[in-house]
């Protein structure tokens, strides 16, 4: 019954099934959790927080989690009502207008293209050199990152089932591993009298004067910069929505996977941050390390456990990049299915042999390799630029999605499977305040290169959009068979003969 219901729901949006619905509840959660990947985010950004805000900066984490949790609830409400692959692109196209939807889709595509490079680059530049004791030159870092990208693409292109198995295994290992590490750090540090509770309130080497300042028009204060820890890490939970057409009962499963992933990541991540900070020793000396988390683990638990931590981080980062690439290929395929992406005739195809959007996967990994090469050649601080763009872009996407929900919330059709009810208003207030505050972080001049990247890709997208409109007219951006959602928004019952409904010429994938 569920499969038939899912097919009927998909047909309301003008599409026929293109994938098998194999994604389970845990697999949906695992996709959202792997994208967030607290092991990846904390390992990567903890050192930056020590240098910008001191150990005291970890207290920004719970605030960021509450803000992102509110965003997850809002996005979950949209995902439940429009359970179609393409997530923000689909929601904006159908509830606002197709032009704005295309712009949001392109921004989402830009985010996914750069963040997969940023995540995989971390393995080659900061983790493997410590684990395998080699010097991370530019050439070696580029080569290893390129190989990792190709490996992820091969897995995604050949088998969705094995992609999910690998990810489920990695997420299980990350959950168990992070819990064990947190407990071991607290117990061993306490037993050896290595806990320093003063670290939790220490500013490290950051001066007291101006610490709590919001900064000026071109810079953020030290306290504000600490929020980048949570802003970079707690993102990507909406990736579960991009597998909506491969998930059983997505209206119910996908929203829950989102908020559960944020909550689990937030609670476990904060406990781990407290444990690491308590056992950090001298925070000023630790801030000079390129791998502060690994150093704390080694000093407290020994080299064997430190090595196991690095192996766990490698596995978590690989899974994170895998899910990012999976999400990117599905978005590319969804926009191509609607004939709204460059090369759509080829990229909308689903491989009859593998049951995956193989050509979209190939295109995506080639683009990722190009981005990797450009940053390696022209950026003196490629990793920070990548992280900056990967933090800025989702904030823009979330802000646009929440604004859309605000505009349409009173007319959205109810489905009884995931609704905010009386908590809608306070949830929206929290989400809006958090997103305004988060976007204010990026006025800092250190994000100049990240803004330039965003601007460059927006120009590329604008050129294509103008060309599409010039050659095919406004109808080129019409969505297939939108009568279902339009009718409910207009408070009338949808009928197949509704003269306002566009024809279903693009329904076949």
Give tens-digit pLDDT for 146-185.
Answer: 999 999 999 999 999 999 999 999 999 999 999 999 999 9
Report whether pLDDT(495) > 80. Answer: no
DSSP count for the chain of H helices, then E strands: 21, 0
- pTM, two decimals, is 0.88
**pLDDT per position as a tens digit, 338-382:** 988 889 999 999 999 999 999 999 999 999 999 888 876 665 566
Q: Using one digit for the tens of pLDDT, what is the confidence trace for 415-461?
A: 778 888 889 999 999 999 999 999 998 888 878 877 887 788 788 88
CATH number of the domain located at residue range(s) 2-12+24-489 in this protein:
1.20.1740.10
Tens digits of residue pLDDT in 281-310? 999 999 998 889 989 998 999 989 889 888
- Domain positions in the chain are 2-12+24-489
Cα dihedral across residues 180, 182, 184, 187: positive or negative: negative
Query: CA-to-CA distance for 117 and 142, rounded, in angstroms?
Result: 10
pLDDT exceeds cutoff 70 at 1: no
If you write DSSP's letter for every residue of 212-251 in order, what string do you get? T---BTTB--HHHHTTHHHHHHS--GGGGGGGGGGBSSHH
Q: For a pLDDT cut of 90, what percent of the chain falls above it? A: 51
**Angstrom distances, CA of residue 103 to CA of 92, 107, 335, 399, 465:** 9, 6, 11, 14, 9
Confidence at 502, pLDDT banded by 50, 70, 90: very low
Q: Is 17 exposed, middle or buried (0-12, 13-18, 19+ CB in 10 A)?
A: middle
Section 243-272 average pLDDT: 95
For residue 364, what pLDDT is reported? 95
């Amino acid at each position: 019954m569920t499969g038939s219901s899912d097919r009927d729901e998909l047909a309301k949006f003008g599409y026929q099934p293109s994938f098998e619905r194999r994604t389970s509840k845990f697999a949906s959660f695992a996709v959202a959790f792997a994208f967030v990947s607290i092991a990846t985010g904390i390992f990567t950004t903890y050192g930056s927080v020590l240098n910008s805000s001191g150990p005291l900066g970890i207290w920004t984490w719970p605030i960021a989690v509450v803000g992102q949790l509110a965003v997850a609830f809002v996005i979950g409400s949209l995902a439940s009502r429009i359970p179609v692959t393409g997530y923000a692109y689909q929601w904006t196209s159908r509830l606002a207008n197709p032009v704005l939807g295309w712009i949001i889709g392109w921004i989402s595509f830009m985010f996914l293209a750069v963040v997969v490079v940023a995540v995989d680059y971390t393995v080659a530049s900061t983790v493997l050199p410590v684990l395998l004791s080699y010097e991370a030159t530019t050439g070696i870092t580029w080569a290893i990152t390129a190989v990792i990208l190709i490996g992820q693409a091969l897995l995604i292109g050949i088998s969705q089932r094995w992609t999910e198995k690998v990810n489920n295994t990695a997420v299980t290992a990350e959950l168990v591993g992070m819990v064990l590490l947190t407990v071991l750090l607290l117990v061993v540090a306490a037993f050896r009298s290595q806990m320093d509770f003063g670290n939790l309130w220490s500013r490290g080497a950051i001066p007291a004067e101006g610490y709590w300042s919001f900064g000026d028009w071109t810079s953020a204060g030290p306290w504000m910069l600490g929020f980048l820890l949570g802003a970079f890490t707690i993102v990507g939970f909406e990736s579960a929505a991009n597998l909506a057409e491969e998930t059983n009962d997505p209206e119910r499963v996908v929203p829950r996977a989102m908020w559960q992933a944020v909550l689990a990541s937030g609670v476990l991540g904060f406990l781990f941050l407290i444990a690491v900070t308590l056992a950090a020793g001298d925070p000023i000396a630790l801030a000079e390390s390129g791998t502060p988390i690994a150093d704390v683990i080694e000093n407290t638990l020994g080299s064997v456990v430190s090595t196991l931590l690095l192996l766990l981080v490698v596995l978590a980062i690989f899974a994170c990049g895998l899910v990012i690439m999976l999400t990117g290929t599905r978005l590319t395929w969804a926009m191509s299915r609607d004939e709204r992406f460059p090369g759509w005739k080829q990229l909308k195809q689903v491989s009859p042999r593998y049951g995956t959007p193989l050509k979209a996967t190939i295109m995506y990994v080639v683009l990722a390799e190009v981005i990797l090469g450009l940053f390696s050649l022209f950026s003196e601080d490629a990793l920070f630029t990548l992280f900056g763009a990967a933090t800025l872009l989702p904030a823009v996407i979330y802000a646009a999605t929440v604004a859309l929900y605000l505009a349409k919330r009173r007319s959205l059709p109810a489905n009884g499977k995931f609704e905010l009810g009386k908590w809608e208003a306070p949830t929206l207030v929290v989400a809006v305040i958090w997103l305004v505050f988060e976007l204010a972080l990026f006025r800092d001049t250190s994000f100049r290169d990240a803004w330039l990247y965003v601007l460059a890709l927006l120009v590329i997208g604008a050129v294509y959009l103008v060309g599409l409109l010039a050659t095919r007219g406004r109808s080129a951006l019409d969505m297939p068979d939108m009568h279902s959602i339009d009718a409910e928004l207009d408070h009338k019952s949808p009928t197949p003969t509704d003269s306002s409904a566009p024809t279903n010429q693009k329904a076949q994938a």
